[in-house]
Every structure is written in C-alpha cells, then in structure tokens.
A and B are shown apart, each in its own frame.
Chain A
C-alpha cells in the first residue's frame, strides 16, 4: 500500500531524512518511534505533502502511484489522512461546514456525487454515535476553544468521516491525559480494517498499549535504525533512545 524508498528530505538546506525505506501493507499498523529531532514529524509531513520540505532523493509510492508530485488535497483524495500533533483552529468556520466541505471535496476527487446537507447530517450523526462524540462539538468553530483532548477527538472524527485508507497519527498522544488517550485510541481501533493501514508516530510507548502495532521502527537522525515487533517498543521504554542516537552518530 505504502512504499517508501530511499527517501531523503531537506528543510532549508539541512538534511533531515537521510534514506528511509519502509513498506506498509493493508491491514497493518506500524509505529515509528524516535527521539526529538529524529525526523518523525518531517516524515509525516513529506508523506502528506506539506510545503517547506525538499525531497532530494527517493520516492513515496502509494498504491503504486508516486504521490510526491501531488498537492496535499490530491493525496487526501487518494486516501492519505494525517492526524495532527497540533490540530489547527479555524475561527468562524463550524465543524459541520468544515467537514462537509472536506468530505465533498474528497468525494468529488474520487468521482462520487457530493452530499447535500441532509445526506451529510446523516453521515455525521452516524459517525459521532459510533465514536461516542457529543453532537454539540459540531456547531462549534473548528478547534476553537477546544481542550487538547477535544482537538484530537475532532481529528479522529474527521478521519472517520473521510474514511482514509492510510491514517498517519503524528504524535497524536502529545498533551493528552490517559482518559483522552484511551478515547482517541478507541476511535482509531474502531476504524481499523483489513483494507486500511495505520502509521503511528510517537515518542512514548504509552500510546502503543492502546493501539497495538504489528511493527515498530526506530528512527534516529533521519534513518530507520532498527525494526521489530511490539516488544521493541517496550524495550525502548526501559532503555531509552541513547544507544540509537550514539549508533547513528
């Protein structure tokens, strides 16, 4: 589903990713762990198409298509979803308006009919019920005045509505207390299916107690330095990242 080959990327002339290779199959959950500054968020941004990163080498194939030349909205249309480390506030735009616009844009990209207000409300009610999210969040402006937990849950709701085939969670656990963490993890687990893949990016092992990965990769100084199963995460929790940072240097 996702094939990253020898990916190098610079930010303002500084090499951040230095040759990443990663293959993710449908139905799999991969976790990328690593110390601060190892390039975790850069990887998430390069896959989703954020400006400000120069890919100097390598390719990212998504369902066989090289997506590096696509605009972020096209990648979203292809089914790539990014849950943000810091979901962004959009004052004056209600959640309902935002999600309707997003869903219809994606449907249009996929050649499907756009939903009218009635049809959309049906979809959104179904999803909020499924995720146990209160409906009054829909009337509020996107992420404005939301608590940290609410923002992350809102991102998960958007994910449920857009039904992506590849979900990337970029340090979605940062700043969450344990209850909020569980709610978010429950949401992600609910949306897992044999057709979809998930890439979890995190600094701490804690989230992986709730979203159990099939594979764990350690990222240090822009390279994957070790891969294993979920026991690798527990090992990291005990030992820390010191050995890898030394190794890569």
Chain B
C-alpha cells in the first residue's frame, strides 16, 4: 500500500513538474515556487516593485497569519486547506487555454447562450486565447479618458501603489486591518491584484465603474484587493463580478474590499458572484472567503452593498458598514442561492457609532438540492449612537426537502434610544404556486425561476439596470434541476 501511495505521489510530482520543463524560461522567471513562506511574500513585493513600507506591511500580515486559527464559527464544512499546495504568484496554467469555443465545455456555452452573452465576450470568459482582449483595451481607453476629465482615478491597485502612494498608504488596511481575520490576513500578505478607485470632492462619477472594463481584471486572481475612496460630496456606483461562470483554476479565493466614504458621499457597491460551484457532489468548486467592509467616516455618508451570490462551493462573506459619521446610512441587500452541495454563510455587520445612523438589511436566501444557506448578521448600537435605527428582514425559501436554511442574527444595543427591528420568515416554494403557474402554461423550471425572482424582487431592484436583467436570468439558471 505504501508503494502505491509512493507511485501516486511520483506521478503527481511528474505532472506538477510538467510546466518546469515544458515551458520556456520566461514563464519560470515570473512564477514563484509552490507554497508559502516569507520569501514568497518578498518575491511578490519585489516583482511588483513595491515600496518598503508595503513589504513590511505584508510581512507583518504574513507573520500574524501564521499564528491565527481558521475561523470555525461559520456553518460551513470543508476539508482543511493545504496552503503549501498552491501558487501565490502567476500560477502556471496546468491545462492549455482552449484555442476556440469548439474546445470549451458545451455546458458552459449553453449557460452563456442563456445569459445572452455576445460571442466575443464568451471567448474572453471561457479563457479562449483570442484577441478579444484588444477590443476591451480600446473600450477601457475611451473609458479612462472620460473618467480622467472628472479627476476620477480608476486603475489596478498595483498601479495605484506606484502612482498614488500617498492615498494608498493612508487608506490601505484602515478599514480591514491586516490582522482582521485569517483570510484577510492572508490576502494582506499575498494580494497580487485588484482595483483602486478615488472619486474627488463633489464629483458624481459619470458612469458605473465595472471591473469588467478594467483590462487587468481579465484574470482577477485569487487574492484580490479593492480600495475605493469617495471624497466629500462624491458618488460612485461600482459593479463587481460577472453573471457568467468564470473559468478559474484557483480553488481558494480570499478577497478584501475596503470602502471609505467621507462627508455627504456615497458608494453603491454591487456584486454578482458566480464562481464555479463544483459538480453535483460539490467536487472542484471554489472557496470564496471574502472580507468586505466600508467605513462611513463622514457625516451624512452612505454605503449600499448589493450582492447576488449564486456560485462557489463555499461562500464566507459579510459585507459590513461601520457607521461613524452622524446621520450616516448603511444598506445591505443580498440574494444567496445555493443548490446541489453548495454552502453559503453570508450576511452583514452594521456597526452604529454616530448619532442618528440608520441601517437596513434585506437578505433573501434560497436553498435547493442538498445545500445549506445561513444568514449571519450583527447589528451593534454603540453607546454614543443616539437615535440610531436598524431594520432587518431575512427571508429564506426552501426548494425540496434535503436543503437547509439558517438565520443567526446577533443584536447588541448599548444605548436606550436606539431602535432595532428584526423580521424573519422561512417558507417552502409551494406545490400550489408551481401548479398554478404550470396550469397557466409555464413549464416547471420557468415556474421556479418566476417564483424565486418574485421572492428576490426587493433586492434585484437595487441592482443597476443592465446587471438586474442578467441577474434575473441567472437566478433561473442557478436553480436548474432543483425540482422534479
């Protein structure tokens, strides 16, 4: 038996080595060896020609990461992650990119078709090696020109570190400290890419900013770092993700997003997450461990998170708001759909510190198959948050009888003038509803999609128009095969 294991290991080692010898040296030069230690962190920082302070920051994060336990309080279950069995910088592709759409998984193409994605974009999403990318370069260029006129900065975080070091140094890690949690800590040590946005005083960003238009986002990477600053009186709407399932070979995704909003400013942040959820047995899906937090630092500032989470095998994600400024507003609108063996533990934290701060939480969880979906949320009213108010509504919808929905609200109030409301419902998609739709001619899967879209309506309405239409279709597609 030992011999068999040894053989398997040898074969695996050979397979792993394939790129070392099979490719020419320039690839090797851009690749950090497998595994994670201090030299990996130094390698990444050096490759990116970062300033000394950032390297130090990364190293502090790395050292703290070593000492931190895995967060185990979430209602998700997966085998321990082998951090040494991963690449942290330019992981070499173990499979070759498909040369045309003919080589792409037909199931994936069918989904693209249903979502109505143009052919050129399909090629990009499926990772087909074509020059479609050049199209988006020109789009991005026009885009940037228009933004520059208004003084808006929208670039990769790597560029920002070089070009706007003062802004980055001031705000990076100011909302999510490097030691916040194990996953955020890892991200701080090894992040390789992400977005940076700065909206100057009094500017209303002339368009919705989407990672899709940022050329580097074609390969978003596992450890994405996003930093958005809305200066006094400014406004920006930021879209992240894509409704189409993206090809990605990295299993672990640990992103960090930090938002900073000053007086009278607002950030609207919308996400559609559809990473590969694994097969029916949950094999091969992405682990999505995200730390997203925004600070409403100024008076009358506002942050609105909207998320549609349909992908990933395991989702661990709590976009939060720290309401420091008086009269500041935090919102969280969420749809989490789980099917087959997917697990999602998601929710928000609303930390009320300033006077008359208000927050609103609308969370819709849909579970099908054998999946488990948990809403976990914290509402904390600080001692000085006089007159603060929160309204929370959590609705869960179950499809079938093998899935689970859980609601875990934490409420802490330290002052008597605060008002907190919490409503929660759990329902099953009813036989009556399905039969009613079907008797009117609507097929079973379309009927499920219709009922679920109705259930999610309040949240879908929060999405920018173009995203909302795609998200609606996605809701239906995510639940295919969940009935009958």
Contact = CB atoms under 8 A, between A and B. Distances in A.
Contacts of A49: 438-439
A82 B441 CA distance: 11
Given A91-B455, A162-B440, A72 B435 contact: yes
Contacts of A75: 439
B415 to A, nearest CB: 35
A34 B431 CA distance: 26
A158 interface: yes
A93 B389 CA distance: 30
Given A92-B457, A98-B450, A101-B450, A77 B432 contact: no
A105 B439 CA distance: 11
B398 to A, nearest CB: 15
Contact of A101 (B430, B446, B456): B446
Interface in B431-484: 431-433, 435-444, 446, 450-451, 453-458
Query: Which of B438, B439, B454 has its CB near the most chain A CB atoms (within 10 A)?
Result: B439
Nearest to B430: A88
A102 B439 CA distance: 9
Contacts of A52: 431
Interface residues of B, number: 23
Given A102-B440, A105-B442, A162-B440, A92 B433 contact: no
Given A93-B453, A93-B454, A88 B441 contact: no
Contacts of B436: 84, 87-88, 90
A169 interface: no
Given A51-B431, A73-B443, A73-B444, A90 B438 contact: no
A48 interface: yes
A82 B439 contact: yes
Contacts of A162: 440-441
A158 B442 CA distance: 13
Interface of B is mostly: helix
A103 B438 CA distance: 12
A200 to B, nearest CB: 17
A109 B441 contact: yes
B276 to A, nearest CB: 29
A90 B440 contact: no
Interface size class of A (residues with CB under 8 A): 20 to 34
Nearest to A109: B441
A109 B438 CA distance: 13
Contacts, number: 82
A98 B441 CA distance: 11
A155 B100 CA distance: 50
Query: Which of A49, A88, A99 has its CB near the most chain B CB atoms (within 10 A)?
Result: A88
B454 A76 contact: no
A203 B443 CA distance: 32
A92 B444 CA distance: 18
A50 interface: yes
Interface in B414-442: 430-433, 435-442
A92 B456 contact: yes
B345 to A, nearest CB: 25
A166 to B, nearest CB: 12
B440 A158 contact: yes
A76 B433 contact: no
Query: Which of B436, B455, B456 has its CB near the most chain A CB atoms (within 10 A)?
Result: B436
Interface in B46-93: none
Nearest to A159: B440
Contacts of B453: 92-93
A106 B450 CA distance: 16
B432 A106 contact: no
Contacts of A102: 437, 440-442
B439 A101 contact: no
A92 B458 contact: yes
A141 interface: yes
A214 interface: no
B441 A106 contact: yes
Query: Which of A81, A82, A91, A103 has its CB near the most chain B CB atoms (within 10 A)?
Result: A91
Contacts of A158: 440
Interface in B201-226: none
Nearest to A72: B438
A90 B441 contact: no
A90 B454 contact: yes
Contacts of B433: 88-90
Nearest to B456: A92
A72 B439 contact: yes
Given A50-B435, A84-B436, A90-B433, A141 B454 contact: yes
B442 A93 contact: no
A69 interface: no
Nearest to A78: B441
B468 to A, nearest CB: 13
Contacts of A89: 433
Contact of B442 (A81, A84, A101): A101
B441 A76 contact: yes
A81 B450 CA distance: 20
Contacts of B451: 90, 93
A209 interface: no
Contacts of A71: 438, 443-444
A101 B453 CA distance: 13
B441 A73 contact: yes
Contacts of A91: 454-455
Nearest to A93: B454
Contact of A105 (B432, B446, B455): B446
10 contacts: A49-B439, A84-B439, A90-B437, A92-B458, A93-B451, A102-B437, A102-B440, A102-B441, A106-B441, A142-B454
Given A72-B435, A72-B438, A73-B442, 5 more contacts: A88-B433, A90-B437, A105-B443, A106-B440, A141-B454
Top 10 closest pairs, chain A to chain B, by CB: A92-B454, A93-B454, A92-B457, A76-B441, A102-B440, A106-B441, A88-B436, A72-B438, A105-B441, A73-B438
Interface of B: 430-433, 435-444, 446, 450-451, 453-458
